[in-house]
Amino acid sequence: MYDAVEEFLQSQINLIPIRYSYSEIRKMSKGFKDKLGEGGYGSIYRGKLKSGPLVAIKMLGNSKANGQEFINEVATIGRIHHVNVVQLIGFYAEEPKHALIYEFMPNGSLEKYIFSREESIPISIEKIFEISLGVARGIEYLYRGCDVQILHFDIKPHNILLDENFIPKFSDFGLAKIYPTNDSIVSLTTARGTLGYIALELFYKNIGVVSYKANVYSFGMFPTWVYGQFSKGNDIELEDALEEKKKIVKKMIIVALWCIQMKPSDRPSMKKIVEMLEGEVECLQMPSKPFLSSSPVRPTGDVGDNLNSTSSSFQ
């Protein structure tokens, strides 16, 4: 795997991120003293560049999988620059260690704001909507804005980081795949991603082919009980909420429900999703029930996204 990593790096003629030495990494992290998090990939530490900006340093483990994750990260975000994708500043690649250096996101991940029960982490409905729109634009860019299409395959609140202005940025491209822009069907041997966010076609081939619509599904994850609430004509309980806030919430829920339609062909494109979020809620229609009652796997956790009942308009 280390040979594969080095061969990959040598093949990247126009590589933008800087290659650092281990001593430079250790110095910018002050001896890896300030740990920000830890996972199956390794550990993340706070660091600081000589020029002043703070960075997040992801030290990868020694497994073959982490070697492939390193290649995926550098191959994807190492070649693009977008306001809704975290910037890869540099890397370290010498046996037996690998490291990735990203811009520092002071407000952490979206997960702690929408799943936390702590009252000390407030976030407004308007801000959640802005974040949702930013995430949608980021996914659309990965699909249509690059010279290739990048499928993330692990879109979830944990991998959406927030900068000082709460602008959302995609991170963790370890499971990502790159395809030519003219390829609409993706070839995968196994399902990839996090349970509860993986599109059903990755498990059940008879539902439809695997495509960028799998990312649409992940974007739409919201609690499934909302569908029942709205189909009965009930409003979501929002204490002291103004009518405008209720409209924002309803819009996000309707869009979310469209995104989690079982068949990929029934889900809107990311371009359509952005249009829906930017448009008026009165123009949106409620989609069909996202899951069949006899469906053998019903994702747990959050879900979301949606629009028109005519699948041809979503392509």
pLDDT digits 0-9 by tens, 195-229: 888 888 888 888 888 888 989 999 988 765 556 65
Cβ–Cβ < 8 Å for 112, 160: no
- Choose among 221, 199, 209, 56: nearest CA to 135: 221
Q: How confident is the model at residue 302 (pLDDT cuts 50, 70, 90)?
A: very low
Q: Is the pTM of this model over 0.85?
A: no
Pairing of strands 88-94, 18-19: parallel
CATH code, residues 111-314: 1.10.510.10
What are the E-state strand segments in 164-245? 168-170, 177-179
Contacts of 315 (CB under 8 A, 6+ apart): 269
Q: What angle do CA 260, 178, 9 make, to 5 degrees?
A: 145
Catalytic (active site) residue 154: yes
pLDDT at 59 over 50: yes
Report the CATH architecture of 2-103. 2-Layer Sandwich (3.30)
pLDDT digits (tens, 9 = 90+) for 120-159: 567 888 898 999 999 999 999 988 877 778 888 889 988 9
Spatial distance between the Cα atoms of 172 and 69, rounded to a whole number of angstroms: 9
Place of tokens 């448009």: 279
Is residue 221 classed as helix, strand or coil in its secondary structure? strand
CB-count exposure of residue 222 (10 Å: 0-12, 13-18, 19+): buried
Of 154, 172, 266, 305, the catalytic one is 154
Residue 99 has pLDDT above 60, yes or no: yes
Where exactly does CATH 3.30.200.20 map onto the chain?
A: 2-103
pLDDT recorded at residue 232: 61
Q: C-alpha distances in angstroms, 205 versus 186, 213, 220, 227, 293?
A: 12, 14, 20, 25, 19
Ranges 1-15, 233-247, 264-278, most confident? 264-278
Q: Calculate mean pLDDT across residues 44-49.
A: 95
Question: d(Cα 195, Cα 276) in Å, to the nearest integer?
Answer: 27
Which pLDDT value is given to residue 227?
A: 60
For the chain, residues classed under CATH 1.10.510.10 are 111-314
